[in-house]
């Protein structure tokens, strides 16, 4: 999330996206939309960690900053470990969601690889879909 925030700060462009989830739809204006498997911690020192990996939901994080100055302030607060969740970010936990935009394509990062995709983008958590086998002595 820190790397994505820095990239957003370097090439600031505010997105206007429509997020549809849980039967509701809302317009979000943000420089960054982050979607991950399960809910991510957004405060220090836990930034980027997750308390659970098997909850069966997606974690949605959007920055609420307005303008380049607001994004810069949020980035400095993040670096200083003083990110204000109420003022700087919005988080949600959802089983699935859809992102729509009037842009023909959206720049995305997927597992560290940057590319472009055409909206709408649909995301869904498949609870317990990945089976992991570990040695008995590691349980």
- 0.85 surpassed by pTM: no
Q: What is residue 39's predicted lDDT score, i.e. its pLDDT?
A: 66
Ranges of the chain with pLDDT below 70: 1-13, 38-55, 78-87, 111-112, 138-139
Q: What are 67-102's pLDDT values in tens digits?
A: 777 777 777 776 666 666 666 778 788 889 999 999
Distance in angstroms (rounded) separating the CA atoms of residues 51 and 137: 22
Domain 2-115 has CATH 3.40.50.261: no
Distance in angstroms (rounded) separating the CA atoms of residues 7 and 109: 11
Q: What is residue 12's predicted lDDT score, i.e. its pLDDT?
A: 61
What ranges do the domains of the chain cover? 2-115
Q: What is residue 10's predicted lDDT score, i.e. its pLDDT?
A: 63
Whether the CB-CB separation of 121 and 101 falls below 8 Å is answered with no
Distance in angstroms (rounded) separating the CA atoms of residues 48 and 27: 25
Whether the CB-CB separation of 30 and 64 falls below 8 Å is answered with yes
Dihedral angle sign, alpha carbons of residues 82, 80, 48, 92: positive
């Amino acid at each position: 999330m820190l790397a994505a925030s820095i990239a957003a700060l370097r090439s600031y462009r505010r997105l206007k996206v429509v997020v549809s989830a849980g039967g509701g739809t809302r317009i979000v204006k943000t420089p960054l939309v982050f979607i991950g498997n399960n809910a991510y911690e957004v405060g220090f020192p836990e930034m980027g960690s997750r308390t659970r990996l098997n909850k069966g939901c997606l974690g949605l994080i959007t920055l609420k900053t307005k303008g380049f100055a607001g994004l810069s302030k949020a980035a400095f607060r993040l670096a200083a470990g003083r990110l204000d969740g109420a003022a700087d970010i919005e988080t949600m936990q959802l089983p699935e969601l859809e992102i729509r935009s009037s842009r023909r394509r959206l720049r995305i990062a997927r597992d560290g690889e940057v590319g472009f995709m055409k909206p709408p983008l649909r995301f869904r958590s498949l609870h317990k879909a990945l089976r992991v086998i570990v040695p008995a002595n590691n349980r």
